[in-house]
């Protein structure tokens, strides 16, 4: 998988110029002009099979798989995460996403002030944590987000 990430980084450098940095989990592509900074995750499709019927098609959950630089494998389900967060946002009178943004801003400020180490509270974890919160005036929203 390291070779795949290396090839993606080379392609990004060829097409978007210098400054591409593949040293982290994602590949950083700096913005210029009208283009914003971007993180690119070199990943592959992953399927977790749930059933294997004798006839018909098996059922599975669709996700992605990628590897950290130390070889650690990470499996993630971004489509399910996005659907769960969108539903939560709609069921909270559109308060969920602004609340997540508040917590991300707090996290960023704490990192900038040296009070929190970078990587301790990734956005994905904050969203999952806040997904599980139900307010006193709102009904419970079901089981935890499958993050």
- For residue 57 the two structure tokens come to 């098609």
Average of pLDDT values for 131-143? 56
Report how far residue 140's alpha carbon sits from residue 91's, in angstroms, rounded to the nearest whole number. 10
pLDDT value of residue 28: 94
Check residues 100 and 33 and name the one with the higher pLDDT. 100
pLDDT value of residue 72: 84
DSSP label of 31: -
pLDDT tens for 80-130 read 989 999 999 999 899 999 999 999 999 999 999 999 999 889 888 899 899
pLDDT-derived band at 25 (thresholds 50, 70, 90) equals confident
Q: Where are the alpha helices (DSSP H) in 17-95?
A: 78-90
pLDDT value of residue 139: 40
CA 53 to chain centre: 32
pLDDT tens for 5-16 read 889 999 999 999
Which three-class secondary structure state does DSSP give residue 123? helix
pLDDT tens for 37-92 read 999 999 999 999 999 999 999 999 999 999 887 778 889 998 998 999 999 999 98
Report how far residue 59's alpha carbon sits from residue 52's, in angstroms, rounded to the nearest whole number. 7
pLDDT value of residue 17: 86
* 27-29 vs 38-40, strand pairing mode: antiparallel
Mention every residue, 6+ apart, whose C-beta is less than 8 A from residue 96.
85, 88, 89, 130, 131
pLDDT value of residue 135: 58
pLDDT of residue 142 exceeding 50, the answer is no
* 73-76 vs 59-67, strand pairing mode: antiparallel
């Amino acid at each position: 998988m390291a070779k795949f990430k290396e090839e993606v980084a080379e392609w990004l450098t060829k097409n978007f110029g210098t400054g591409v940095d593949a040293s982290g989990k994602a590949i950083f592509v700096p913005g210029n002009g009208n283009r914003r900074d971007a993180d690119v995750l070199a990943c592959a499709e992953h399927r977790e099979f749930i059933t294997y019927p004798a006839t018909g098609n098996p059922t599975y959950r669709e996700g992605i798989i990628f590897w950290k630089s130390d070889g650690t494998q990470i499996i993630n389900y971004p489509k399910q995460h996005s659907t769960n967060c969108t539903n939560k946002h709609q069921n909270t009178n559109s308060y969920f996403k602004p609340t997540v943004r508040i917590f991300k801003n707090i996290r960023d400020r704490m990192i900038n002030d040296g009070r929190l180490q970078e990587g301790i509270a990734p956005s994905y974890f904050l969203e999952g944590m806040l997904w599980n919160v139900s307010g006193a005036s709102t009904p419970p929203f079901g089981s935890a987000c499958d993050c």
